[in-house]
Structures are given as structure tokens and as C-alpha cells.
Amino acid sequence: MADSDPEYDEHGSDDDVDMNINGTGKGRSMASRSKPQAKWEGGVSRDWELEGALDGNLEGVLGGIEEAQKRKRLLKDTTPLQRGIIRHTLLVLDLSTAMNEKDLRPTRHFLTINYAIMFIREYFEQNPISQLGILGMRDGLAIRVSDLSGNPTEHINAVKELRGTEPKGNPSLQNALDMSRAALHHTPSHGTREVVIILGALLTSDPGDIHETIKACVKDRVRVRIIGLAAQMHICAEICRKTNSGDENYYNVAVDEVDYKQQFLEITTPPVLRSTDSEAQKRNQAALLMMGFPSRIVEETATLCACHGTLTRGGYLCSRCKAKVCNLPATCPTCDLTLILSTHLARSYHHLFPLRNWIEVPWSRASQKASTTCHGCLTPFPAIPASAPEQDVPRPKRAPGASESSRYECENCQNHFCIDCDVFCHEVVHNCPGCQSTAHLPGREQCAGAGS
Amino acid sequence: MNAVDGTDRAGAHNDAEPPSLLTIILDTNPHAWSLLADSLPLSQAIANLLVFINAHLAINHANKVAVVASHSERAEWLYPTPTQPGQEAADLNGTFEPEGNGTSGGVNGNLGGPVKPLDDANKYRPFAQLEHALLSNLRKLMDTTTVDAISSVPSTMMAGALTRALAYISKQTAAHPGATANSHFNYSDPSSIAGGNDLSANNGSGSATLGLTTRILIVSVSGDLADKYIEIMNSIFACQRLGISIDVLKLAGDTVFLQQAADTTGGIYMSLDANSRAGFLQYLMFAYLPDQTARNHLIVPGEQEGVDFRAACFCHKRVIDIGYVCSICLSIFCEPLADGNCLLCGSHLTMTNFGQRPAVIPKKKKKKKKTLEGSVGSPSSGHATPIPG
């Protein structure tokens, strides 16, 4: 692992004492996650020895596995948690020589840039009124790639320009943390302050005591997450543990490209607020903000906008004082009202009202409801077997998570859906087609009937 | 790839015009239609809509249509006909394709088989089949509507209709033979994950030409959808992610959210008044028939208008333009909360500077008063001094 960083020796010997090398490589297989092992260490997967394939009917078994995999993503906890939706995040990319490694194809550097672009888009999709900024670690310095702002295009362009640059030198976690702390210093107290570090190197070359910086981060409520690309480092684990009030899940090492992407995109989900945080929030006043939802107008002739004083045809009229601003979100320059597009806010509501998971439907239930087609997309279901299935020959076992009848039932409206609609409704629409399309939910009527 | 080996593989593929799936959501709220009975009765609107659907089917033999009714207390499919529990599942397949033979009326126990009463030699077969299915399903929908249902729920199930339409579209897009990884929503594809952004929306329009292009037309007659605000917004964002444009033709009432839907997804929004309502068919044919690619070359109606971006509050479902937003969960309320606790997340909220008068004005008044008092005092003293002097 040492040869992953050829400049390590030169710098370490040349530079003087206050350069703290905190990295300790432990080898990839010691990733902090409970991942079993890397690909080459895993046992041979014997796909051909599937259970239940005795009768030669592979379809049931394979179909079940596919559906189970599709559902695995969905079966997450749907209890509504309080989330910090107004987020302020700094993404710190490693631009040191370690990023030239080719263990993640094409190189760590290019892959990180691609995933960072993806991350930026998804981040703003999930957190529409949040702010993002990007820093880089190169040559022992923290460099500013893009400032904290809410405009995804700006960030994507800045990250794309990194493609033309070469990774160079050593990273410095301390400098990066200090710079992000400074950048997050002015952010309001009702938002979160997060730093996400992508670290390819196995060292950090710092100008001072990084533990002081960690303490300062904890004091400033900055929460740090680190994704390692090579191996676990003690100092990273310590940073993440201390800044996340003892939680150790915020430092992970990516095993391969897929795992890396998954971990990267996981960060786009708003973080759960901890009770200590909410105490801090109470101290810092969780506020009810007055906001205006202005409407867009188009004018015959150009008029001056209140924000820049330029001539524009159309814009948004402040809902309180009717001053014209040209872009949203903005603060009205005249009456200081926060103006925002209501669509920005509405994008995050599915986090607040998550769709309940649908349950698997056994054959007995399917024949009871006599469902023949998916309620959402009208796709026909596999036919219900005529005989009572209980005392029948044991059916081939389906993979856990997949329904034996290929039907999934919403417990509210008791309609049956196919696996595609299950995935689609939970991942994309966040609505249940059955519950939304009837005013009389069977569950409620039963309750009403029992009550009356 | 083409440049490398000098062949033109894509050429043959692009020659054929991509088939288009038009999903129409027809608001069949009886209350609203009864108000329109003078200018545009439902029967006439349906006749016009059928002409429009036929025009869409005639453009390309592979074009498809789906119609959902957003009724007062439920959302139902009008076309294709959903199979009833007693029916065979197999005869449903034919109804998706206009040229398929297996279309069933799906009513009156007409199980399977081609539609017999409509074998009119003078009528293009898919038109006849669609017309029959749509009309009989609509009639059945109206027949099963009880008086109680109408009197209890005066609104329409737009959110449900949109969600069902979206589920159907997603399945059709995935099942389309020409569908590539780009043209339908792929959960593992990075670019499609964030389809809602401006950058990837451009990608979407480019790649959409390969597979099935889809759009939604909402013919809306009822106002006030505020009680389903969140669900409607969820469907709108889903459309945006999938690159489906929502066209809205508003015959009566005023819904803020449908206008936002059209604006967000890049569709056309038009609102007809009592005079222009008679030209329903003309509006349909001229404004809504061209698909997304053709619209790039046309002057699209509705661009000269502003968009109403008001939101609905969570507490009373009022449509508001100034609201109070919880900084924790972003819920919107129309008035300051009485006990200061957010109704959704329960966190205690303080009003930072609401109700606080701008500090400048009273201070100035005080200063003026002081100076006035001072000036009052000084002239008297001033008076006092000159007089003796």
C-alpha cells in the first residue's frame, strides 16, 4: 500500500517536524463496514446450485431473486425522522497524487469527478434549498473549487474543470477542515453544517495539531463524513467519531466502484438530527420563517429590477411589497422578505411523508382479493393456482423479500401492485396509486363502521 | 462508433418516427361539468376529444393512447380497459395496441373477443375500438356514481389519476422494444437519477427520441386541488424526473398547481373562458397535437403569461402567497402557530422578527419628539432672552 503514494518518503524526510503524518494503512480488507471482503476474497458464487430448482423450473427461483434485489433498496425504514433539510455541505475532494491510482477505473481522480457531478445533481434534487461548496486538497493546501451556493450548474462546471488538472502532492485534512470551518462559519444555526471528504491518500500532511482542529469543528457543530478510497485510517475514524457525537458509521472505505457510488449517493439523503442537535437548535432558536411565494410575471416593456437595477422583461413580484426581483430564491431588497419558489420547498416533502412499504402477498391473500392485474399499470399477474396452496406440494422457495404471488399490497388501500410499480412508486413518485385514486379507503371505512 | 468504422448504424434506426404515448387525464367531476352544460356539455367535449385522439393515432401507426378519468371520488381507467376480477387476464394485452384484435369492451359481460357491434367497414378499426371502449367505460363510470358520492365529495381525484397514469407510463416505457438505457428511467444510471435538473433535462429530450416518447394531457374543469397539494407536487416532480411533459387545458376553475405542473415539466398551459370554450377541438388540435420535437419549431401558446407559484398551507389547505415556514421540516403554515410548536415535526419554533415593527420608525419619532420638545423649549427660552435684550 505504501507504493500507492510515491512522494510519501520524499516529503516525509524533507519536511520538518511539524508535519504530522497521521495515516496508518491497514489494508483494504479491513474496511470499517461489515462488508465481508473484497471481490477476490469472496467465495465462488455457485449460481447454478440454486435451491428449489429440482423440478427444473428455474423461472420461479430466478424471478424471485431479481424481485428481491429490486425490493432490497426499498425496504428502508419509513418512520418519519426529523431531518435537517436546510443543509450546508462542503464537499472536499482529494487532489493528491494518490488519486492517480488506477484501482478504481479509469482512475480514482476521474471516477471521483464523475461521481461528484452525479452527487451534485442528486444533492440538489433531494435538498433543493440547501447549499453546497467544493474544496480540493492538493500540495498540502486546501484549494477552493467553488463557493458555497445553491446553484448546481456552477458547481458542475467547476468540477468539470478539474478534469484538466493533474493530482499533485499530499492532502492535508487539517487545512481542509479549517477552510471548511471558515466557509461554514456564517451559515445560520437552523441549518446543518456538514463536510464530506473523499480521501484517496493514506496520509495527511498537516501544518499543526489536527486534534485542535477537530475540537474546533465539534464546537462549531460541523459534522464530518469521510469516504476512504484505499484503506482505513485511524485519524479519519477519529475525526468522524468526534464530530458525529460518537457515531462510527460516518467513516467508510469504498470497496469497489459500485460501493463507492452507493456510499457517495447515500450522503444526499438529509442527515437525521440527533437529540443533542435539537437541544442545540433550541438554544439557537429553530425559527418559523416568514416566506413569500411570488408569482412570475411577463411584461410588455422592460422595467428595472430591484435587485440588480438592470432592465428585464419579467421577473417575480415580491408578495409583500411588489418589488421586482429577477431570480429566486432571493431576499427582497426592499422589504427583506425571503422569497422562494414553492416548488423548491415541495420537492423535499416526500421525506416528510414517506410512502409506507408494501407487503408481500401470499397466494391465499391473492385468491381472497382475486386480483388479476396490477392496480397501477394494468399488467396482468401470474394466475392464482386453482387448488388451495397450503396442503399442496411445497412450492419452490422464493428469495426472501420477494412475494410468492408477485403481488405487493398497500396496507392502506388493499390494492395489489406489481414489482415495477412497487419500485417506481417508492423511488420516484412517492405516492400510492391506489390510495390516491379513491376517496374511500377500505381501512378507514372499517374503522368508521366499527366506530358507528 | 460510427466515425470509427465508417458505418451508419443509427441512420436506419432514426428514420422511423418514434412512437408516442399520449396519456389523457379527463376530469369528469359531475359538479363542474354541470356548470359548463351551457357552453360545452360533456358529451360534446368527449366527441371532440375522440377526434383529437384519432388524430393522434393517425399520425403514426405505433402511437398509443391511454385515458384516465379523474372522477369525483375515484380515478378510473377509461382506456385501456382494466380487466375485471372475473375476466381473463389475457384479453387485456390486445387493448394496448390499436391494431391488436383482442380489444374487449370490458362491460356487459362482453368477455374477450373482438368488438362485434362495431365492425363498421367505413371506420378505421382502431378508432372504432377505442371509441367503443372509452364510451362504454365512461358510461359505466357514470352509472356507478352514486348520489351520495357526488354530494359528499365535490372535488376530483387528480393526484390519483396522475399517479396511475405515471405508473402505466413507466411500465409502458420500460416494456417498449426500442427502449434503451437512456430513454427510460434507469435506477442505476447516474444521469437519470437527477433528471430534474436543467442539465439532464436537456439530455433527456435528446435521448427520448430513441424510445417511446410520452406526454400527459390534463383536461381540467374543477378548481381547488389544495387538499392534495403534496401528492400532486410529488407526481409533478416524478414527471420532471422522467422527462414527461404535462399539458394542461383548463376549461373552468382555476388551479394554481396545474399551471405549476405545466411550467415545471415544460408543457403547455391554456385556460379557456366561456367564449373560447366552444372552440375546444380547435384548441386541442392546434396547441396540443404537436409533440415535443415539433414544438421546438413552433410558437407555443402560453409563454406570454406569468405563472402563479403560490403554495397551499398544511394547516388549512389555503392557497397563500406569504406563509410561515418551519425551518426544520419546511412545512408551510398560513398563520403564526398559536403555541409555537410545528404541527408536523413538533419542534418548538420561535418567531424571529414577525410582528416586530421596523425599529427605525419609532426611534425617529422619538428623536423628532425630543428635538421638537427641545425646539419648543428653546424658542421659549429664546423668546425669553431676546425680549429682555
Question: What is the tens place of the pLDDT at every residue in B20-39?
Answer: 899 999 998 888 888 888 88
Looking at the predicted structure, is the pLDDT value of residue A316 above 70? yes
b/e burial code for range B221-250 (CB count within 10 A of at least 16 → b): bbbbbbebbbbbbbbbbbbbbbbbbbbbbb
Interface test with A, best of B242, B325, B344, B353 (most A CBs within 10 A): B325
Flag whether pLDDT at A248 surpasses 50: yes
In this structure, are residues A103 and A112 in contact, taking their beta carbons and an 8 Å threshold?
no
Exposure b/e, B128-167, CB count within 10 A at least 16 = b: bbbbbbbbbbbebbeeebeeebbeebebbbbbbbbbbbbb
Average pLDDT over residues B275-285: 88
A223 bridge partner residues: A194
Residue owning grid cell 399490497: A409
Stretch 12-51 of chain B: residues touching chain A, C-beta under 8 Å? none
Closest partner CB to B310 (pick from A86, A156, A295): A295
Q: Label residue A168 exposed, middle or buried (CB < 10 Å: 0-12, 13-18, 19+).
A: middle
Interface test with A, best of B309, B352, B361 (most A CBs within 10 A): B309
Q: Is A428 in Cβ contact with B242 (below 8 Å)?
A: yes
A344 at the B interface (CB within 8 A)? no
A103: nearest Cα among A290, A260, A279: A260
Q: Strand B64-70 vs strand B20-27: parallel, antiparallel, or unpaired?
A: parallel
Quote ipTM for the complex: 0.72
Residues 421-440 (A) with a CB less than 8 A from some CB of B: 421, 423-425, 427-433, 435-440
d(CA B203, CA B192): 9
Judge: A290–B354 Cβ closer than 8 Å, yes or no: yes
- Burial label for B293, CB within 10 Å (0-12, 13-18, 19+), is middle
Tell me the three cell numbers of residue B373. Answer: 420638545
Q: A165 vs chain B: nearest CA distance in angstroms?
A: 23
Q: What is the number of other CB atoms lying within 10 angstroms of the CB of residue A133?
A: 22
Q: Which domains does chain A possess?
A: 82-271 (3.40.50.410), 291-351 (no CATH), 353-385+397-452 (3.30.40.10)
A292 within 8 A of A258, measured Cβ to Cβ: no
Residue that wins the pLDDT comparison between A441 and A343: A343
Nearest CB partner across the interface for B89, out of A114, A373, A427: A373
Interface probe, candidates B216, B322, B353, chain A, greatest A C-beta count within 10 A: B322
Domains detected in chain B: 18-73+145-200+207-308 (3.40.50.410), 310-355 (no CATH)
Q: Which of A217-231, A271-285, B134-148, B261-275 has the highest mean predicted lDDT (pLDDT)?
A: A217-231
Residue range A230-254: mean pLDDT, rounded: 90
Q: In the numeric block, which cell numbers belong to residue A283?
A: 438554544
pLDDT at B195: 36
Residue B107 has pLDDT above 60, yes or no: no
- Tell me which long-range contacts B102-105 makes (C-beta under 8 A, separation of at least 24): B103/B129, B103/B133, B104/B133, B105/B81, B105/B132, B105/B133, B105/B136
Question: Residue B126's pLDDT band (boundaries 50, 70, 90)?
Answer: confident
pLDDT band at B359 (very low <50, low <70, confident <90, very high): low
Strand A87-94 relative to strand A192-199: parallel, antiparallel, unpaired? parallel
DSSP secondary structure letter of residue B123: S
Q: Is A360 exposed, middle or buried (0-12, 13-18, 19+ CB in 10 A)?
A: buried
Q: How confident is the model at residue A143 (pLDDT cuts 50, 70, 90)?
A: very high
Q: Inform me whether the pLDDT recorded for A176 exceeds 70.
A: yes
The nearest alpha carbon in chain A to B69 belongs to A437
Q: Tell which residue, A323, A353, A218, A234, has the closest CA to residue A280.
A: A218
Listed in sequence order, the residues at least 6 apart from A139 whose beta carbon sits closer than 8 Å to its beta carbon are A96, A168, A169, A170
